């Protein structure tokens, strides 16, 4: 009889049938089984385990990890004893049983859609994505990876877009950046065996995903990508290979609480995959991921229909949508899902015009996205090439994005919502309680205290902060404001008070009701420092 090993993730603990295994709630519990290495266990294998606790049941698929080792991973979504039994077409893997005790932890669990257009962890903690883009960081030498992790640790970014498969580039073929491991067995187009995954490659990728996750960074993991230049063939694999790849990725990664599935980057540039192919691929992810991690796809010149039921949120590349006010509210209304502008051009000095933004302009676009009740993702391509391999940040926007994050996280917990969106394009918050006005590159000298009338009542009092979004200052405006008579659309200060503004660009106003501090849920979230 084979030895049955039950492991806490990455910690080998030999077990007997009597030992009481423990795993953190939302942690990764791993069943390790030894089996045969014959045949092709990437193709022929059927392996899963059903974890049961009372009426709850999850059946993650297992996967072959090479050298006769098979693994099944489980993320317990609640505390208590989970009993499991395996099922396999390999007799030596079938019918194994055990149990694991899930215990309380500080884990917040996977991020879900909350309040239609926003996000929260499974434990209810709100999550406001302020992402960045490091497509190829996992394919860099270890010293650069460590630099990337140190940079992220010091940043405010809490989501990272990264490729699961490297793009074809000459620097990966020779020299210090030469890649030795690939998703498939083999090292070049000539000898890639698309019927066999390379476990070492995925073990490395897992380690990097886990390292991001340990920093509290959500990993927006991109399954398919173009960028193959006809060289390796990773973007022209057959439908059968693609389906196996998806199931293998899901089996390996779904138990990580911080995973988001990005079906593709710039999907339309993968010429041989249609939207209908991605329909099926989405549904495979949906079927095999027991935890329902977020699912989206990132467009190039053909926008996938985000209304399809298996898409959880919009992951858009459409620069116009954040250059001007008013577009994100429209996207919210069209899709009724969270809108994440996952590429809004990059701060940079690239020869390519998508990477030529000033820090001021990238910051402005972030504010416009947030004022539209949406989210945005950072990228930088100064001489460092951050969006490719990571490393260090040299731009001026990350600090301002961190400042914006503080503003947002100390605002209404349910997230910013456009206020009177069809007639007032630069206001968001929570009507009656909290208003954020942003003036972009306009340089107003004054602002009459006039709010859209919704939820307001005569006599309500407000305090105002003048925010310099570029210099990152928050300056309380002396005194308070009191709502006077309401008109059909507007409510002004009873004394028609007008605020003086400094005539500088990138200013904002934060207007908060006095004595209306929302209860409970609206207290600052863990990790969300107030900005004043």
Q: Of 34 and 358, which has the nearer Cβ to a copy of itself?
A: 358
Contact 258, 218 (CB under 8 A): yes
Taking each helix axis from N to C terminus, what angle separates 397-409 and 359-371, rounded to the nearest 10 degrees? 20
In sign, the C-alpha dihedral spanning 326, 332, 338, 340 is negative
In angstroms, what is the minimal distance from the CB of 248 to a copy of itself? 31
**3-class DSSP assignment, residue 155:** coil
Work out how close the CB of 296 gets to a copy of itself at its nearest, in angstroms, rounded to a whole number: 15
Query: Is-contact 132 160, C-beta < 8 A?
Result: yes
Nearest Cα to Cα of residue 389 among 130, 166, 174, 215: 166
For residues 269 and 318, which CB has a smaller minimum distance to a copy of itself in the complex? Answer: 318
* CB closer to a copy of itself out of 190 and 351: 351
The smaller minimum CB distance to a copy of itself, of residues 305 and 521, is found at 305
320 Rama class: left (phi>0) / alpha (psi -120 to 50) / beta? alpha
**How many CB atoms within 10 Å of residue 271?**
9
Task: Supply the minimum distance, in Å, between the C-beta of residue 483 and a copy of itself.
Answer: 20
How far apart are CB 465 and a copy of itself at their closest, in Å? 27
Of 4 and 303, the one with the shorter C-beta distance to a copy of itself is: 303
Q: Of the two residues 319 and 392, which places its CB atom closer to a copy of itself in the complex?
A: 319
In the complex with a copy of itself, the residue whose CB is nearer, 327 or 460, is: 327
CA atoms within 13 A on the CB side of 365: 27
Closest CB 333 distance from a copy of itself, rounded Å:
5
Q: Which CB sits closer to a copy of itself, 158 or 345?
A: 345
Q: Nearest approach, Cβ of 327 to a copy of itself (angstroms)?
A: 6
Our CB check for a copy of itself shows the closer of 276 and 301 to be: 301
CB atoms within 10 A of CB 226: 19
Distance, CA of 364 to CA of 351 (rounded, Å): 22
Nearest distance from residue 275's CB to a copy of itself, in Å?
10
CA distance 32 to 261: 25
Q: How far is the CB of 132 from a copy of itself (least distance, A)?
A: 21
The CB density around residue 67, as the number of other CB atoms within 10 Å, is 8
Nearer to a copy of itself, 120 or 297 (CB): 297
Strands (E), 2-154: 4-8, 21-24, 29-34, 47-53, 56-58, 62-64, 69-74, 80-88, 97-103, 111-114, 118-121, 126-127, 130-133
**Min dist. Cβ of residue 207 to a copy of itself (A):** 37
CB of 95 to a copy of itself, least distance (A): 45
Q: Which residue, among 477, 361, 366, 372, has the nearest Cα to 427 in the 3D structure?
A: 372
Nearest-angstrom CA–CA distance, 138 and 206:
10
Q: Are strands 434-438 and 118-121 parallel, antiparallel or unpaired?
A: unpaired
**Residues interacting with a copy of itself, by CB under 8 A?**
301-303, 305, 307, 318-321, 323-327, 329-330, 333-334, 351, 353, 421-423, 425, 488-489
Query: In the numeric block, which tokens belong to residue 67?
Result: 């050298």
Burial of 305 from C-beta contacts in 10 A (0-12 / 13-18 / 19+)? exposed
């Amino acid at each position: 009889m084979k030895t049955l090993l039950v492991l806490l993730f990455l910690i080998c603990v030999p077990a007997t049938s009597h030992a009481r295994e423990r795993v953190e709630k939302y942690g990764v519990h791993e069943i390790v089984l030894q089996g045969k290495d014959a045949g092709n266990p990437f193709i022929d294998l059927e392996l899963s385990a059903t974890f049961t606790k009372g009426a709850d049941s999850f059946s993650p698929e297992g996967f072959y990890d090479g050298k006769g080792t098979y693994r099944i991973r489980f993320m317990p979504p609640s505390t208590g004893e989970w009993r499991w039994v395996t099922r396999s077409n390999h007799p030596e893997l079938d019918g194994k049983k055990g149990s694991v005790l899930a215990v309380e932890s500080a884990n917040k669990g996977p991020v879900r859609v909350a309040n239609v257009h926003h996000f929260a962890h499974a434990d209810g903690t709100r999550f406001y994505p302020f992402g960045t883009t490091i497509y190829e960081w996992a394919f860099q030498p270890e010293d650069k990876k460590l630099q990337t992790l140190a940079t992220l640790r010091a940043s405010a970014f809490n989501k990272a877009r990264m490729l699961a498969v490297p793009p074809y580039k000459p620097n990966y073929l020779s020299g210090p950046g030469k890649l030795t491991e690939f998703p498939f067995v083999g090292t070049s187009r000539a000898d890639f065996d698309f019927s066999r995954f390379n476990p070492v490659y995925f073990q490395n990728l897992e380690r990097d995903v886990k390292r991001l996750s340990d920093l509290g960074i959500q990993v927006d993991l991109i399954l398919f990508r173009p960028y193959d230049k006809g060289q390796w063939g990773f973007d022209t694999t057959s439908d059968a290979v693609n389906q196996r790849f998806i199931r293998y990725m899901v089996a390996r990664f779904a138990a990580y609480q911080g995973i988001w599935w990005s079906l593709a980057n710039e999907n339309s540039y993968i010429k041989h995959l249609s939207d209908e192919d991605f329909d099926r691929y989405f549904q495979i992810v949906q079927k095999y991921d027991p935890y329902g991690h977020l699912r989206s796809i990132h467009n190039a010149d053909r926008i996938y229909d985000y209304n399809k039921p298996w898409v959880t949120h919009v992951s858009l590349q459409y620069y116009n949508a954040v250059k001007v006010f008013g577009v994100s509210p429209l996207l919210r209304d069209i899709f009724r899902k969270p809108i994440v502008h996952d590429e809004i051009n990059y701060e940079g000095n690239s020869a390519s015009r998508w990477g030529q933004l000033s820090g001021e302009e990238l910051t402005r676009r972030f504010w416009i996205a947030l004022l539209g009740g949406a989210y945005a993702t950072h990228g930088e391509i100064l001489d460092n090439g951050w969006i490719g391999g990571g490393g260090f940040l040299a731009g001026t926007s990350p600090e301002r994005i961190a400042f914006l994050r503080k503003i947002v996280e100390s605002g209404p917990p349910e997230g910013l919502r456009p206020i009177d969106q069809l007639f007032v394009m630069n206001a968001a918050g929570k009507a009656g309680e909290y208003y954020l006005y942003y003036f972009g590159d306009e340089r107003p000298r004054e602002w009459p205290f006039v709010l859209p009338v919704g939820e307001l009542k005569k006599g309500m009092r407000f305090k105002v902060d003048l925010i310099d979004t570029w210099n990152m200052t928050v300056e309380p405006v002396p005194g308070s404001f009191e709502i006077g008579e309401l008109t059909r659309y507007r409510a002004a200060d009873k004394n028609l008070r007008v605020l003086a503004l400094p005539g500088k660009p990138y200013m904002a106003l934060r207007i908060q009701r006095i004595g209306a501090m929302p209860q409970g849920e609206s207290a600052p979230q863990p990790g969300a420092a107030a900005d004043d």
